[in-house]
Amino acid sequence: MRPFGIRATQFSALVMLSLRGALTIGELAQSLGLERTTLTRNLELIEAKGWVKIKVGDDARSRVVSVTPKGRAAVTAAFGAWHEAQGAALSEIGSSGAKAIRALSHASLG
């Protein structure tokens, strides 16, 4: 996904925001299974590219993140590369490996 200037974690955040709408940084971090500080660093990078907008939430301490039209365009442009990478990974680890990774992911989020 390097040719599109986007990292996998950034892509995941943009997709999540595109699907679910605006979320607080805490909600987004929990949904992605990321630490808030890690997510905040990634959001700063994609905010600088104009892919997300971060504004103050209902509580002055919270921040709400939303994807911009430019961010949606970045997801659309990079989707083919993401899909290709998923297919390559699946062919390397096989369906049982993919199932094990999904189980580990669900266990860590639960």
According to the model, what pLDDT value does residue 101 have? Answer: 80
Query: What element of type H or E holds 75?
Result: helix 69-109
pLDDT at 110 over 60: no
pLDDT in tens, 66-93: 999 999 999 999 998 888 888 888 888 8
Domain ranges, ordered by start, for the chain: 2-109
Q: Has domain 2-109 been given CATH number 3.40.50.10800?
A: no
CA–CA–CA angle 48, 51, 67 (5° rounding): 135
pTM of structure? 0.81
DSSP 55: E
Sign of CA dihedral 24, 25, 30, 31: positive
pLDDT in tens, 89-104: 888 888 888 888 878 8
2 and 81 Cβ atoms separated by less than 8 Å: no
According to the model, what pLDDT value does residue 72 have? Answer: 96
Instruction: State how far the Cα of 30 lies from the Cα of 52, in Å rounded to an integer.
Output: 18
pLDDT in tens, 6-17: 988 899 999 999
Residue 46, exposed/middle/buried by CB under 10 A (0-12, 13-18, 19+)? Answer: buried
Report helix angle 8-20 to 69-109, nearest 10: 100
pLDDT in tens, 22-49: 999 999 999 998 999 999 999 999 999 9
Identify each DSSP E strand in 50-102 by its residue range. Answer: 52-56, 63-67
Neighbouring-strand partners of residue 56: 63
